[in-house]
Homo-oligomer: A and B are copies of this chain.
Amino acid sequence: MQIEPPYALFLGDAPDQLAAKTADGIAAWRPDWCLGQIRLPDCKADLKIAELTVEEAAAKGAKTLIVGVVNRGGIIGGAWLATILKAMDLGMDVAAGLHQRLADVPEIAAHAKKLGRKIFDVRHPPQHFAVASGKPRSGHRLLAVGTDCSVGKMYTALALEKEMLARGMKADFRATGQTGIFIAGGGVSVDAVVADFISGAVEWLTPANEADHWDVVEGQGSLFHASYAGVSLGLLHGAQPDALVLCHDPVRDHMRGLPDYRPPNIKPCMEMNLACARVVNPRAQFVGICLNTSAMAADAAAVLKADLAKTFGLPCVDPLKDGVGAVVDRLAVL
Given the interface pairs A190-B195, A195-B194, A279-B224, the reply to whether A231 lies near B229 with Cβ below 8 Å is no
CB distance from A138 to the nearest CB of B (A): 16
Q: Are B194 and A227 in contact (CB under 8 A)?
A: no
Distance between Cα atoms of A196 and B177 in the complex (Å): 12
Please indicate the chain B residues that have their CB under 8 angstroms from the CB of A279 in the complex. Answer: 223-224, 226, 229, 264
**A280 adjacent to chain B (CB < 8 Å):** yes
- In the complex, whether A305 has a CB less than 8 A from a CB of chain B is no
Interface size of A in residues (CB-CB distance below 8 Å): 39
A135 to B259, CA, bound (A): 10
Q: Which residue in B191, B200, B258 is a CB contact (below 8 Å) of A227?
A: B200
At the interface, is chain A mostly helix, strand, loop or mixed? helix
Q: Does A276 contact B (CB under 8 A)?
A: yes
The interface residues of chain B lying within 8 Å CB-to-CB of A198 are: 195, 230-231
In the complex, chain A residues 211-251 whose Cβ is within 8 Å of any chain B Cβ? 223-224, 226-235, 237
Given A131-B228, A226-B280, A230-B237, 11 more A-B residue pairs with CB atoms under 8 Å apart are A131-B227, A132-B226, A133-B258, A191-B196, A195-B198, A199-B230, A226-B237, A229-B237, A229-B279, A230-B232, A230-B233
Q: Please name 25 pairs of A and B residues whose Cβ atoms are closer than 8 Å in the assembled complex, sorted by A.
A: A131-B257, A132-B227, A133-B226, A133-B227, A133-B258, A134-B226, A135-B260, A191-B194, A191-B196, A194-B194, A194-B195, A195-B198, A195-B234, A200-B227, A223-B276, A226-B237, A226-B280, A229-B237, A229-B279, A230-B231, A230-B232, A230-B233, A230-B234, A231-B234, A233-B233
What is A's interface to B at a CB cutoff of 8 Å? 131-135, 190-196, 198-200, 223-224, 226-235, 237, 257-258, 260-261, 264, 268, 272, 275-276, 279-280
